[in-house]
Structure 1
Amino acid sequence: MTHDRAVVAARPVFAGWRIMRSDAGRFWATRERPFPRAVEDAGAHRTVDADDLVGLCQVIAEQESIAEQKCRIVRTTR
């Protein structure tokens, strides 16, 4: 994994995610803290990848959206 300017620039945007770029040029992100089990069961992934930084930003946002939706459901059913 390499750490280039794009990776360094993206880090503050997604606090709580560790962003890396593979030697093959793909972007990867791993959530620093695991999602709760119920969120993972709902389909959120702790580690994601994409061809470019824009795609990675989208897939991270999707994971956080899944987590938020699951948390909303849990709050409303209590």
Structure 2
Amino acid sequence: MHQSSAADSLGTIPGWRIFKSDANRMWATRDVPFSAAAEKARAFRTVDADDMDELRRVIDIQEQIASEADKADK
């Protein structure tokens, strides 16, 4: 995998680094790891998708899982 030279065209999601694989699959990795509670709840720091719209949805799901786990952990 490599970071695209046209990274700006990939879009941005705050707190996540987005890149496209050599096979044109979209990937994102979170800049800061999730909490232990979120990881235990299976919030994934690195995710993939077929396109940016799907990638945004997958990231939103991970952030929701993490948020709910962190609230329950308090």
> In which range does the TM-score fall when normalised by the shorter chain?
0.7 to 0.9
User: Which has the higher relative contact order, 1 or 2, with Cα contacts under 8 A spaced 6 or more apart?
Assistant: 2
Matched AA of 1:15? P
Is 1:74 aligned to 2:55, yes or no? no
Residue by residue, what CA displacement relative to the aligned partner does 1:23-55 show, whole Å, maximum 9, x if unpaired?
Answer: 110000000111111110101000000011111
Q: CA RMSD in A?
A: 1.2
Percent identity (aligned)? 45
CA–CA distance in structure 2, aligned partners of residues 46 and 69 of structure 1: 15
Runs of 4+ with deviation above 3 angstroms: none
Query: What does residue range 5-44 of structure 1 map to in structure 2 within 5 Å?
Result: 5-7=8-10, 10-11=11-12, 14-44=13-43
What SS class does the counterpart of residue 69 from structure 2 fall into? helix
Name the structure where helix makes up a greater proportion of residues.
Answer: 1
Q: Tell me if structure 1 keeps the 8 A contact 2:37–2:73.
A: no
What SS class does the counterpart of residue 23 from structure 1 fall into? coil
Q: Which runs of 5+ in 1 are unaligned?
A: none
When the two structures are superposed, what TM-score results if normalisation uses the length of structure 1? 0.82
What SS class does the counterpart of residue 20 from structure 1 fall into? strand
Q: Which runs of 5+ in 2 are unaligned?
A: none
